[in-house]
């Protein structure tokens, strides 16, 4: 274990900040930042490569994670201790538990996103908000859906807010990225039925028959489903609402659909 880093201008502290703030830096280095013990544990146990663990002993003790720290020490990973001031400089959380880690990113390829036994997958078109993507990943994993396809995504999947909102679960979900056309052709070749959500649809989602292979397609937070996907869908469903809201948050819409899919599978 190296000496404690006190300097706020230390090169490692600066690199943590760059990786936290810059998608370009993350792409160039093929690295991303994980903050917090639970997220680190999840990503490590999924078999992803962790490069280095930075820690602040005062914060670890405050969070009562001394035993967890000792267990991680046994992995043989590189550990670097930061002073509380240096750690706070590198941190992006208000109440950190004393763990910041750097891990290797991995390719998000379409061909790896759907396995032979995949029955349900999610397509997110032009998703923009990292927190939304992370929350959707966490919800999808909770409902047993392990395939998420990002169509013309305008988002960095290794953004710290994606990692945080997914609670590290993105490491165990198969995420593939591509253009609208690439993802459509990929799903067609895999013989998936395409079901989209639309406020203008006639059938509520609980009345729609779900085939053995179904891809649920969701539009962007700002514009909903565009013409390309609307023209390609096998059918559309709506999510009936009683209140004055004209739409739901994207994550809430995904949760409604997956809860119904999960209910049918378990009933």
Q: Is the pTM of this model over 0.85?
A: yes
- CA-based end-to-end distance of the chain: 53
What is the per-residue pLDDT across 83-121, written as a single tens digit (0 to 9) for each? 999 999 999 988 899 999 999 999 999 999 998 889 999
Q: Which two structure tokens, joined as six digits, stand for 162?
A: 């994606």
Both structure tokens of 80:
């670097």
Give how far Cα 17 sits from Cα of 1, 33, 77, 93, 246, Å.
Answer: 22, 9, 21, 12, 39
**pLDDT band for position 185 (cuts 50, 70, 90):** very high
Closest by CA to 37, choosing from 59, 8, 20, 5, is 59
**∠ CA 250-130-245, rounded to 5°:** 25
Confidence of residue 266 (pLDDT cuts 50, 70, 90): low
Predicted pLDDT of residue 264: 77
Answer yes or no: is pLDDT of 192 > 80. yes
> Residue 237 CA to chain centroid, in angstroms?
25
With bands split at pLDDT 50, 70 and 90, how would you rate the model's confidence at 3? confident
Q: Compute the distance between CA of residue 231 and CA of residue 73 in angstroms, rounded to an integer.
A: 54
Per-residue pLDDT at 1: 54
pLDDT in tens, 15-68: 999 999 999 999 999 999 999 999 999 999 999 999 999 999 999 999 999 999
Selected residue with higher pLDDT from 190 and 208:
190
* Residues shown for the chain: 267
pLDDT tens per residue across span 207-249: 877 777 999 999 887 878 889 999 999 988 888 777 777 677 8
Q: How far apart are CA 6 and CA 13, in angstroms?
A: 10
- Strand pairing report for 147-151 and 120-125: parallel
> What is the C-alpha to C-alpha distance for residues 213 and 75, in angstroms, rounded to an integer?
40
pLDDT at 143 over 90: yes
Task: Report the helix count and the strand count for the chain, using DSSP H and E.
Answer: 11, 10
Nearest alpha carbon to residue 102 among 50, 162, 62? 50
């Amino acid at each position: 274990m190296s000496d404690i880093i006190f300097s706020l201008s230390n090169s490692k502290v600066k690199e943590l900040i760059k990786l936290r703030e810059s998608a370009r830096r993350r792409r160039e280095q093929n690295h991303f930042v994980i903050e917090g013990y639970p997220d680190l544990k999840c990503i490590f146990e999924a078999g992803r490569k962790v490069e280095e663990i930075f820690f602040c002993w005062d914060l670890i003790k405050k969070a009562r994670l001394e035993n967890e720290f000792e267990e991680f020490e046994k992995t043989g990973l590189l550990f670097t201790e930061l002073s509380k001031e240096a750690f706070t400089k590198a941190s992006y959380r208000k109440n950190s538990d004393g763990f910041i880690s750097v891990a290797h990113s991995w390719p998000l390829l379409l061909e790896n996103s759907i396995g032979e036994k995949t029955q349900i997958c999610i397509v997110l078109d032009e998703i923009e908000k990292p927190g939304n993507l992370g929350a959707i990943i966490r919800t999808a994993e909770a409902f047993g859906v392990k395939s998420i396809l990002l169509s013309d995504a305008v988002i960095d999947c290794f953004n710290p807010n994606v990692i945080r909102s997914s609670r590290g679960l993105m490491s165990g979900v198969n995420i593939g990225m591509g253009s609208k056309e690439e993802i459509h052709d990929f799903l067609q070749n895999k013989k998936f039925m395409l079901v989209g959500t639309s406020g203008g649809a006639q059938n509520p989602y609980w009345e729609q028959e779900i085939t053995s292979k179904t891809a649920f397609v969701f539009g962007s937070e700002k514009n909903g489903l565009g013409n390309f996907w609307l023209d390609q869908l096998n059918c559309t469903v709506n999510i009936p609402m009683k209140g004055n809201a004209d739409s739901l948050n994207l994550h809430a819409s995904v949760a409604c659909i997956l809860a119904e899919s999960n209910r049918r599978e378990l009933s």
